[in-house]
Chain A
Amino acid sequence: MAEILDYFRKERLPSIWCPGCGHGTVTGALIRAIDKLGLDKNNIVMVSGIGCSSRAVGYLDFDTLHTAHGRAIAFATGVKLAKPNLKVIVMTGDGDCAAIGGNHFIHAARRNIDITTIVMNNNIYGMTSGQYSPTTPHGMLGTTAPYGNVEYAFDLCELAKAAGATYVARATSYHVTLLEDLIEKALQNKGFSVVEAMTQCPTYFGRKNKIGGAVELLNWIKDGTINVKAAAALPPEKREGKILIGELHRAERPEFTASYLEMTSKVQRTYNDYKGGNRGCELNSD
């Protein structure tokens, strides 16, 4: 295995992340999965939006695209459709992906475009210092939910599955080996893949909700989750209120860019035949 740091722009470190933040753990898991699969650095494009998690791409030594808030998947769609041979990975957060970028998220899933999306869900807007997000649990506190969150949270994995994603999994910054394993599988899926990585924000979420620091938050995450395989063997009352982790959904469905290229080749053949010449000379498949 290559040195993990070889995948980083070392001169840009240290990161802006707070002490105890879980985003580095998730980034590390992603890098190890990439390394394990032996993916070519030059063939990877990392795309992110705005927020703490989206800052990850700036530290990574790939072609990296730090876009506008909520738009990572839309930019990534352009990259992938323009050059389907590139491995396109989106790093996003709960606010970026599920609130402002929710529309792009569900439509990318519907298209089943070959993009691997890692959602770092820390249940809070960290960059703007602690407002409630679409994944803040009901009743919990944020700077804009001083009396407890009145709203209810999205289950991002259920959302992705319902919208048509062909690989959906969840792990946490506590279950790092599982996370790495799931990301590895997600990267191998030819289609829209979502890995939700539950992660801790001690600075805002932990402090505001009086859960404690990074360690207490990691334990809080651990206690709130249960592996999908273990859950299957338990009676419903023991699964009550627990968040499932592990591989949650897998499906076979045509991938968007492959289908698009198939259509263009067919059109080109028909059109060139009709025009009576130069058949297939311009098949531009990259």
Chain B
Amino acid sequence: MSKGWITACHRRRTMPEIVKLMQGNEACTMGALAAGLDFYAGYPITPSTEIAEMCSEELPKVGGRFIQMEDEIGSIAACIGASLTGKKSMTATSGPGFSLMQESIGYASLCEIPVVIIDVQRMGPSTGMPTSPAQQDLMQARWGTHGDHAVIALAPGNVKECFDLTFKAFVLSEKYRVPVIVLTDEVIGHMREKVIMPDPRTYKIPVRAMPATPAGYKPYEADPDGGVPLMAPFGKGYRWHCTGLFHDEKGAPSGKASVAETLLYRLKRKIEKNEAELVDYFAESMEDCDVAVVSFGSSAMAALSAVRKARAQGLKAGMLRIKTVWPFPDAAVRELTKTAHTIIVPEMNQGQMALEVERVTRCNAKVVKLGKVNGDLFRPEEVFEVLKEAF
């Protein structure tokens, strides 16, 4: 049934909504296909492999391309190459593979090439526990590649959001010409939930802004204050140079301080300036909460349960589940301190998001790190115990 939906999506045909039981990895793939995915390159790795398998089956049907590369380094490189020809490209991986991709994520960032990377997080470091969930790549998603750089990362909190946020990843990646990372985890990736897929015609497929003519085309000409240059596809007569060296607006390599400064400033500003559009979170019972829970991904499912239980017992607890983890929603988190004296941060790592919460709240609330790194997922009662004690 979903396959008919994919074809309808690809052909921009209308069809009635469908109800389907699917896993997160499947929903990510559906979201990508709905957004017009043309190209997938990847390397098998647990717990992300279903995405590659599904792409290998579905893409040929809609005239797309799938390739299993020799490693994750090659996978991201091939995706960037394909994106330069104007194709919407994606790869999916998990911790070790995500580490291998970092260099070229930086390349995509500096060269401003749209690409979507799904990281289905598993326990690390190293090979770790390949089939166990974790949220340990939060900081890697932000700072994994070397150098100051711009990046967007989205973290779905349920299966339907895997679809929605992967779709959104393409929208943002094409619009801002940045690599966008979808950070899911083993629980979300493999969990099955009921998803209602709407009429494919209701989706507005993202379209990359392209220049009108090769005459006078400057590949990196844009407003220095966060503008996004128009991207010409390779093979259309623009004959431009794409380089990972610092480059001027013509794309020519440059070692000048002023050129480097201008470029890095623009790359930073293009995310910063658009934070209002980028920031996305789910909030519940926040207005009057004394204790807030800030979380993301599958940990937030247990956390929300705990918050609701607390409310049912008359405790003023609130929940903020962050969907756009990078750029971090500073304002929304800061807002919590207006009522909350304590913020609990359950996450399957040793406190990566808690660090951000501490940075933002600046001692105006007590931040409780609730890290879990044993390969086990959170249970609602674990969060509830900590929550209850905080009142």
On A, residues with C-beta under 8 Å from B are 9, 11-12, 41-43, 45, 47, 57-58, 61-68, 71, 74-83, 85-86, 103-104, 107, 260, 263-264, 267-268, 271, 275, 278, 281-284
Contacts and interface: CB of A to CB of B under 8 A. Distances in A.
Given A45-B235, A78-B80, A81-B82, A66 B241 contact: yes
Contacts of A12: 252
A162 to B, nearest CB: 16
Contact of B69 (A57, A77, A267): A77
Contacts of A104: 70, 74, 77
B211 to A, nearest CB: 14
B41 A78 contact: yes
B269 to A, nearest CB: 25
A61 B38 CA distance: 28
B81 A42 contact: no
Contacts of A78: 39, 41, 67, 77-84, 89
Contacts of B85: 79, 82-83, 86
Nearest to B63: A284
A271 B61 contact: yes
B11 A282 contact: yes
B136 to A, nearest CB: 25
B74 A77 contact: yes
Interface in B291-311: none
B87 interface: yes
Contacts of A11: 252
Interface in B1-60: 4, 7, 10-11, 38-39, 41, 60
A64 B81 contact: no
Contact of A58 (B83, B238, B253): B253
Interface stretch (B120-128, B242-250, B331-339, B382-390): B242-250
Nearest to B81: A78
A82 B82 contact: yes
Nearest to B75: A74
A76 B242 CA distance: 13
A58 B81 contact: no
Contact of B234 (A63, A68, A278, A284): A63
Contacts of A68: 77, 103-104, 107, 244
Overall SS of chain B's interface: mixed
B201 interface: no
A67 to B, nearest CB: 7
A74 B252 contact: no
29 contacts: A47-B81, A63-B234, A63-B235, A63-B239, A66-B244, A66-B245, A66-B253, A67-B104, A68-B103, A71-B77, A74-B81, A78-B77, A78-B83, A78-B84, A78-B89, A79-B82, A79-B84, A82-B65, A82-B87, A83-B87, A83-B234, A86-B85, A103-B70, A104-B77, A107-B70, A107-B74, A267-B60, A281-B11, A284-B64
A41 B10 CA distance: 32
A61 B84 CA distance: 17
Given A67-B80, A77-B77, A260-B67, 15 more contacts: A42-B239, A57-B241, A58-B241, A68-B104, A71-B74, A78-B82, A78-B83, A79-B84, A81-B78, A82-B38, A82-B39, A82-B65, A83-B235, A267-B61, A268-B60
A276 B303 CA distance: 48
Contacts of A79: 81-82, 84-85, 234
A41 B55 CA distance: 33
B330 interface: no
B62 interface: yes
A74 B234 contact: no
B65 A81 contact: yes
Contact of B73 (A9, A41, A74): A74
B216 interface: no
Contacts of A42: 235-237, 239
B376 interface: no
A281 B107 CA distance: 36
A275 B62 contact: no
A63 B238 contact: yes
Contacts of A71: 73-74, 77, 104
B148 interface: no
Contact of B78 (A41, A57, A75): A75
A83 B83 CA distance: 10
Contacts of B4: 275
